[in-house]
Amino acid sequence: VQQEGGGNIVSLSQANHKALSKKALIEKRLIEALHHKDLTVMYQPQIDLSTGKIDAVEALVRWEDAVLGTVPPNELIPVAEESGMIHDIGSFMLEKACEQAALWSRNGKPMKISVNSSIREFRDNNMVKKVRQALDKYNCPAHLLKIEITEKFALEAESEQSIIRQMLQLQNDGIVFILDDFGTGYASFRYMQLLPISELKIDQSFIAGLLQQEKPQKLVHGMIQFGKSMDIRVIAEGVETKEQLDLLKKLGCDAVQGFYISYPVAASEIDIQ
């Protein structure tokens, strides 16, 4: 047992070392990628269930590096948040979204775009300016832009006045805030009262168990009812089957997003009806 323990310690520290150097490498390559604007954006459509049509898309960052290969957002974002490069990623995504939304709008087929944001971007106290600049640059109407914040973000933001102030200013401009990953932290009635949240996105972990188990179904039903009582639009993400879609419709969900509807795709592949 002793020896096994010792072996574990060695391999653990090797794993740590490996993780560290991977992080450092991601950081180094990311600086280059941002410099050369090598990141790309994929858009995942959302269907509004009252019309059956795509009414919004979520912008998701993609990075294919020559050395590292595909670096998924779940690896990329934490490194970027820690290093501060999330500010540049955030700006890049905002600009891309505004450019694309303005283009669709000019072509007579307006479509809302939501971007994911990190709390660190708001801690800069620069977010309002950053968003307005991106909108102005492409002449994009503010109501076409939505910003997704996670439940974790919301929990932290409820005690940070400067973040609440920025969110209220942006809402006043016409920007909609979506509460992402709803149900994964703990739903706080405090932030519901303090933050200008217009839409809820039920986390995909609840949708995954929707048909097999009774509890997720009850929870999802409760979340939809909660949204209705608060006048908040409810989106379900991670919808992978027709059965899930049908049940969500029956439960009164407002919109759905997930592989069953579409994978995230390039802007040119979005089929606007």
Name the residues that contact Ca ion, by CB under 5 A: 116, 148, 180-181
Report which secondary-structure segment, H or E, holds 266: none
> Least distance (Å) from ligand C2E to the CB of residue 74?
5
Distance CA 271, CA 273 (A): 6
> Least distance (Å) from ligand C2E to the CB of residue 230?
21
270 lines the binding site for ligand C2E (CB under 6 A):
no
Partner from Ca ion, ligand C2E, none contacting 46, C-beta within 5 to 8 A by type? none
Size of the site for ligand C2E (CB under 6 A): 22
Instruction: Annotate 81-90 with b (16+ C-beta within 10 A) or e (fewer).
Output: bebebbbbbb
How, if at all, do strands 69-70 and 145-150 pair? unpaired
Q: What DSSP character marks residue 185? A: S
- Nearest to residue 151, comparing CAs of 188, 103, 194? 188
Binding span for ligand C2E by CB under 6 A among 113-121, 156-164, 188-196, 210-218? 113-121
Query: CA-based diameter of the chain, in Å?
Result: 70
Site for ligand C2E in 172-201 (CB under 6 A): 180-181
Helix (H, G, I), strand (E, B) or coil at 231: coil
The token pair at 37 is: 């604007």
> Least distance (Å) from ligand C2E to the CB of residue 63?
10
Site for ligand C2E in 75-104 (CB under 6 A): 77, 89, 93
Residues that bind ligand C2E (CB under 6 A): 44, 60-61, 72-74, 77, 89, 93, 116-118, 180-181, 204, 237-240, 258-259, 264
